[in-house]
Structure 1
Amino acid sequence: MNVGYLSQAIKRISLIDWGCLGEKEFMSQSYLCREYLRRATKFLKNYPGTCIPPFIMISNSIIEPQENIEMIEILNEINNSYHKALVTSYLELCALIDEKNPIAMDNRDLFEPAIKLYERGGFFYRREGYLYINGNSIIIADVAWDEKEPLNISDEILDALDNGSAE
């Protein structure tokens, strides 16, 4: 039996402890945030939509999936509006992949850094042209994030960053 992307995404999101985000700071969190910025900037350049970058709204940039994402119960556990918007878009993307939407299929890894960030207990927020994570700010305006080299976000690299054995 083939389990769809949306089902896998719901299971993955269900395992995140949304009440504990930000309690621990790790190097991998900023690293993941930077890679998400790169992917989001590249995506929004190709598929602009009504959103507050880097919080992409897939239904505004591509098309709304047939699945009613707003009815997915796990979204009720996410109290932060930015987190909820990002996770909603992630679920929309996964639903569109299940529907064989070619744009969604080509961008299937778009939200991977952000979801890994949440899984590792981190979060970021946007204010006045900056993203804030772990007490640091990352400028999002006037930076060609889409021209940056992709970062390796394998668990081995992320664990090495968190253990101080990688830079």
Structure 2
Amino acid sequence: MELLLSIGLFAAFGAIFVFANMVLGSLFRPRMPNAEKAATYECGEPTIGTSWVQFDLRFYIVALVYLVFDVEVALFYPWAVTFGDAGAIARRLGQSAFSVRAGALVDMLFFFGVLMVGFAYLWRFGYLDWVRSSATTSLRSDAGRTTRLSALLSEEARLDPEFAQSATVSGPMN
């Protein structure tokens, strides 16, 4: 109980300290707006265009994959520390140390397996490739495109008899 009280006091003091400094800063800083102060500063050079740029979405994908695996590693550590002393846990639960270790291993392998399935999906469909190639698309989507193209061509040939004759006489287009 004493430990929780000291942690709570520490967190409360930290929050009050941050809030108090923000309030004091807003009360005592000078308020003299100026057009020159509000201008964008780019290392002494005049700005060209807007400073708002859209980052390539591939950066976000890489960042999200990094975050997922970073959190995974962060969750592995407490698991390893907790189940590193499986003997004490087993005595407390009245089980064998082997069963506690086996259960912990199965839990972590399941957690890791779910993440690996997601990673394999990203890898298989080319979401992790910096330059995506047509080889990473699925065969099913290629077959679907071919089927749709055939349906469109047959519909065009049905509606326009000259199209059908030109397609058979001239052969495929280059």
- Flag the structure with higher helix content: 2
* TM-score between the two structures when normalised by the length of structure 2: 0.20
- Flag the structure with higher strand content: 1
* TM-score between the two structures when normalised by the length of structure 1: 0.21
Larger radius of gyration: 2
Higher relative contact order (CA 8 A, sep 6+): 1
